[in-house]
């Protein structure tokens, strides 16, 4: 028997109005995100706009919905050179919904990552050096695309957020974790 009340709407079906960054330790960062079904809905489009604003304000190059307490398969990747990633290639922000893998390189490349949900730390993570994926945009159109190098790294980092992982779970060694301050001194001088 099921009792239906207004409170039975699962959290993941609600797009938050005001976005706050979920920091490591929040259960939402450990959940499998649910697929989006309401392509083109005003709620989804407005959420995607807010997510983009949040990412831009935080000077991030990517963000995933679980990072703002929304357990849905939505990510934005937006590689561009900035203070945190001076060598990043420039790209128009790309919204990827319900992404799936077609293929990925067996060749792994180690590189430094940081995360808005893991503030103050950087770590080395080995990632495939290219990926080919299917995804939907916010209007429900299906796309196929290949990402290389740093952009593949961003995709894989954000994809991890959709399956309940952060870079801390993939770090090559605990000895490869640095504070932001030490990282910037050593590598971005
Ligand atoms: Ni992250």
Residues 75 and 96: beta-carbon distance below 8 Å: yes
Question: What's the CA-to-centroid distance between 2 and ligand 1, angstroms?
Answer: 37
Q: What tokens does 156 get?
A: 């894989």
- pLDDT one-digit tens code per residue, 147-171: 999 999 999 999 999 999 999 999 9
- pLDDT one-digit tens code per residue, 26-50: 999 999 999 999 999 999 999 999 9
Question: What's the CA-to-centroid distance between 127 and ligand 1, angstroms?
Answer: 14
Please give the model's pTM, rounded to 2 decimal places: 0.90
| Active site amino acids | 158
∠ CA 11-164-103 to the nearest 5 degrees? 120
- pLDDT one-digit tens code per residue, 99-128: 999 999 999 999 999 999 999 999 999 999
The 118-128 sheet, strands edge to edge: 108-115, 118-128, 177-179
Residues 51 and 20: beta-carbon distance below 8 Å: no
The 94-104 sheet, strands edge to edge: 62-64, 74-77, 94-104, 130-136, 142-148
Residues with CB under 5 A from ligand 1 (ion): 115
Question: What's the CA-to-centroid distance between 8 and ligand 1, angstroms?
Answer: 29
Question: What's the CA-to-centroid distance between 143 and ligand 1, angstroms?
Answer: 23
Dist CA 48 CA 41 (whole Å): 11
């Amino acid at each position: 028997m099921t009792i239906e009340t207004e409170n039975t709407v699962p959290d993941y079906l609600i797009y938050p109005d005001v976005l706050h960054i979920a920091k490591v330790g929040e259960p939402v960062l450990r959940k499998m995100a649910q697929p989006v079904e309401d392509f083109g809905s005003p709620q989804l489009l407005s959420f995607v706009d807010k997510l983009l604003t949040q990412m831009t304000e935080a000077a991030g190059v990517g963000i995933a919905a679980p990072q703002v307490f929304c357990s849905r398969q939505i990510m934005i990747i937006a590689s561009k050179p900035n203070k945190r990633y001076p060598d990043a290639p420039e790209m128009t922000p790309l919204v990827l919904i319900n992404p799936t893998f077609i293929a990925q390189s067996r060749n792994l490349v180690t590189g430094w990552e940081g995360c808005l949900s893991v503030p103050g730390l950087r770590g080395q993570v080995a990632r495939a050096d290219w990926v080919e994926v299917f995804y939907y945009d916010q209007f429900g159109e299906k796309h196929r695309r290949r990402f290389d190098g740093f952009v593949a790294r961003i995709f894989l980092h954000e994809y991890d957020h959709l399956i309940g992982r952060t870079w801390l779970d993939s770090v090559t060694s605990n000895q490869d974790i640095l504070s932001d301050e030490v990282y910037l001194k050593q590598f971005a001088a």
